[in-house]
Structure 1
């Protein structure tokens, strides 16, 4: 029997001792950019079928909270109790594949909905009776610095769990959707920071989160909505774990390496597991720095190829009419994940390399209008998709592989090697580009003035004593029209 601290205890000790001012300024800035990006995706996602169905289902269970007593459903006039809001807003953030990646994989859509739902609760902002300040009416009070602490902590743990399992490729090759498996931990610790958990409570929240995890890639066969549910469920379950832990419900202190029921051994392959990835370099390497922002409304694994097609499209003689065939030489994982020429559902289209490249070639981008039913079933797109083929290149590995694109035109063949996708952590969008993306998404539901106020609030979070005004900006008076 060893007295060495467990991985959960190391993580919890780090997070509960961490203070916002201890976090490097550039890391806090990166968190603000990802918060803004996630809010944009979630506000626009309010128009999705998945959100509409979820609201109907959960409304029947929860009822309608008294105005101001629940947590807002972003981009709508509605509220739900905190757990329901975390679930629905999580689904909204991922509904159109515009949320960030490179975390657990989709950390923002899990961490932020859980943290903001936690911030709506009466016990938010307190630890051992202390508060961030308190509101005039005695309600919850969470400062902007606390939100940054929570979000950064959530990204930190979610990515570290994935890495300890061997990384994105290892988890997904086993058939697990990494966001559902790893994201719950990010949501739990982010909620725990907002709720003021002490170290022992945070250990329990992490341990409890392990019993809420799951989600398989079986949706790939028919484009089912369960992919979106994995994200909402992770956000909801993480908040649930933190709430239970705060009230004294205990979770296992050695979740990750327990002799019987080790989380890492259950989800990971023995040769890939590395428990030290959970805690080594805490406070030195910040995982939010590894996350990426998506410029296109499709699976991240299609983005490097989209970049190539958009660049070629600018060359003379390259057009939808002149291209005879496009051959994408890529990894087996990407071919399996994105090689189906299927637009029968929104999920299927967004996971289709053929659709992504046909749309980029024809329209010069892949946004909400293009992935909507009318856009994805355009006969011109369908005809172009028939000219696009995927070939497995054994030299390429994993979901981040940079494919080789071979384009045959009327005048010859062009071969281009893709580079790191635009928006990746090593090829970042500028802040202005991300803000522009946010404005385009947010103004599908918010007045422009309100959207600009969201930008201002988020970019000045450190100086905010209360994020309640930011939460109020996310609500609107009208219901969204569905984007199918």
Structure 2
């Protein structure tokens, strides 16, 4: 009986661009465009110069792989690390994959493409689909996002290395045994924990970059004959299931119906610059703002029914860093209520705003143990005139079940690229990315990203 890795490897090896439905490849190109806009706009963050300096120390000057938007190149490992970190730095990259598949899979793939200049855009898109498939299937098998996170694991790190390794191995057209080894090597060194939440440390961004780098290295080693365990997922001692998901692992979710309902189609694109767990709250607040008589200055009290896990992850009412603000339900409620939006500016320019702080202090988090794990926060807002508004959004904007319109995604990219690139470069990157399967498109895009 083939192992889980061997079954995934066989599927990935046989997957072709022609087999992928056109709507999936079209969405994949949109995900690439969104990720590039998010990554290049990260030039505005503290993480950008710090990460650039560190990656140049680690990798040195090299002509191997592009550090996006810097005009510099370094080793493939440093490029995957740098591009992965900056792609996740704004908390605006895609979700519902590993969770953040784009910031893991695409930096690894672009570095790998520069190592093998003969690969095409169609091959990159096919490899991307396979990477997203492996990553999301693993997360589902491990109990899903909230169950895995509740154990302290950050899914972008613990599942992302596998997604990146699978994608790179597919891009290079490795045989099934090498794909299996790449998964095994990646799983031998994967991780990421939620300790960053306590003080808003930058390490959350590192998880994406490290997973991209680990996947790239794992596939490279496997391509040269370096073996990895075939039972990386199900080994009774030291396998992923028993180590990372003890009691929660469902092996059937790794391989059932492979090739049907490709998991990339489940990915979502963020409209708001904060943790996805807060988007339903932002949607609810924006809807409340349309109610007659709603006035942020008139809010006297806000009650939030949520799960205990949401209370721990999202309950900080006094954020100090941008990352803490991006994981604060009270803060996100306040800026959305006052400003009517939740863009980058609201999570970096209002941390010391008195009105925002005062409104956030009125938000009461009310965890209830009996709520289901898929529960979204329910808001009850009391106004000074006695009006009480209650709102809960079960599927937030940007989810695959409530997607951002294509035009909105492109507008998001264009707005971000005002921070990240010259207008003529931004326009050319957009045109090439949305036609990435065309001959020579990938090579031109790699040049532009430098």
TM-score over 0.5 (shorter chain): yes
| Superposition deviation, residue 299 in structure 1 | 0.5
Q: Distance in 1 between matches of 2:130 and 2:412?
A: 25
Instruction: Identify the residue that residue 244 of structure 1 maps to in structure 2.
Output: 221
Could you tell me which of 468, 476, 479 is aligned with 2:443? 468
| SS of equivalent residue, structure 1 residue 308 | helix
| Superposition deviation, residue 466 in structure 1 | 4.3
Instruction: Identify the residue that residue 411 of structure 2 maps to in structure 1.
Output: 436
Could you tell me which of 54, 57, 77 is aligned with 1:57? 54
Instruction: Identify the residue that residue 2 of structure 2 maps to in structure 1.
Output: 5
Instruction: Identify the residue that residue 14 of structure 1 maps to in structure 2.
Output: 11
Could you tell me which of 396, 409, 412 is aligned with 2:383? 409
| Superposition deviation, residue 249 in structure 1 | 0.8
Instruction: Identify the residue that residue 334 of structure 2 maps to in structure 1.
Output: 358
Q: Distance in 2 between matches of 1:72 and 1:155?
A: 23
Instruction: Identify the residue that residue 47 of structure 1 maps to in structure 2.
Output: 44
| SS of equivalent residue, structure 1 residue 389 | strand
Instruction: Identify the residue that residue 21 of structure 2 maps to in structure 1.
Output: 24
Q: Distance in 2 between matches of 1:233 and 1:392?
A: 33
Q: Say if 1:188 and 1:239, in contact at 8 Å, map to a contact too.
A: yes
Q: Distance in 2 between matches of 1:20 and 1:468?
A: 18
| SS of equivalent residue, structure 2 residue 84 | helix
Could you tell me which of 100, 104, 110 is aligned with 1:116? 110
Q: Distance in 2 between matches of 1:59 and 1:465?
A: 29
| Superposition deviation, residue 395 in structure 1 | 4.5
Give the number of aligned pairs: 449
Q: Distance in 2 between matches of 1:101 and 1:232?
A: 16
Deviates more, 1:276-285 or 1:70-79: 70-79
Instruction: Give the direction of change, closer, same or farther, for the CA distance of 1:253–1:421 in structure 2 (3 Å limit).
Output: same
Listed as ranges, the gaps of 5+ residues in structure 1 are 125-139, 476-484
| SS of equivalent residue, structure 2 residue 382 | strand
Q: 2:362 aligned with 1:387, yes or no?
A: yes
Alpha-carbon displacement from aligned partner over 1:288-332 (angstroms, at most 9, x marks no partner): 111111111111000001001111112332122111122211122
Q: Distance in 1 between matches of 2:58 and 2:394?
A: 48
Instruction: Identify the residue that residue 206 of structure 1 maps to in structure 2.
Output: 183
| Superposition deviation, residue 342 in structure 1 | 2.8
| SS of equivalent residue, structure 1 residue 416 | strand
Q: Distance in 2 between matches of 1:470 and 1:212?
A: 31
Q: Distance in 2 between matches of 1:288 and 1:12?
A: 17
Q: Say if 2:95 and 2:267, in contact at 8 Å, map to a contact too.
A: yes
| Superposition deviation, residue 92 in structure 1 | 0.7
TM-score by length of 1: 0.90
| Superposition deviation, residue 255 in structure 1 | 0.9
Pairwise mapping of residues 230-241 of structure 1 onto structure 2 (< 5 A)?
230-241=207-218
Alpha-carbon displacement from aligned partner over 1:90-123 (angstroms, at most 9, x marks no partner): 11111111001111111111001110011111xx
| SS of equivalent residue, structure 2 residue 99 | coil
Listed as ranges, the gaps of 5+ residues in structure 2 are none
TM-score by length of 2: 0.97
Instruction: Identify the residue that residue 291 of structure 1 maps to in structure 2.
Output: 267
Q: Distance in 1 between matches of 2:441 and 2:411?
A: 26
| SS of equivalent residue, structure 1 residue 294 | coil
Instruction: Give the direction of change, closer, same or farther, for the CA distance of 1:390–1:464 in structure 2 (3 Å limit).
Output: farther
| SS of equivalent residue, structure 1 residue 462 | coil
Q: Distance in 1 between matches of 2:437 and 2:344?
A: 32
Could you tell me which of 325, 329, 336 is aligned with 1:349? 325
Instruction: Identify the residue that residue 135 of structure 2 maps to in structure 1.
Output: 158
Could you tell me which of 66, 83, 88 is aligned with 1:89? 83
| SS of equivalent residue, structure 2 residue 293 | coil
Q: Say if 1:405 and 1:416, in contact at 8 Å, map to a contact too.
A: yes
Alpha-carbon displacement from aligned partner over 1:456-483 (angstroms, at most 9, x marks no partner): 11111222344011122223xxxxxxxx
Q: CA RMSD in A?
A: 1.4
Could you tell me which of 155, 173, 188 is aligned with 1:178? 155
Instruction: Identify the residue that residue 218 of structure 1 maps to in structure 2.
Output: 195
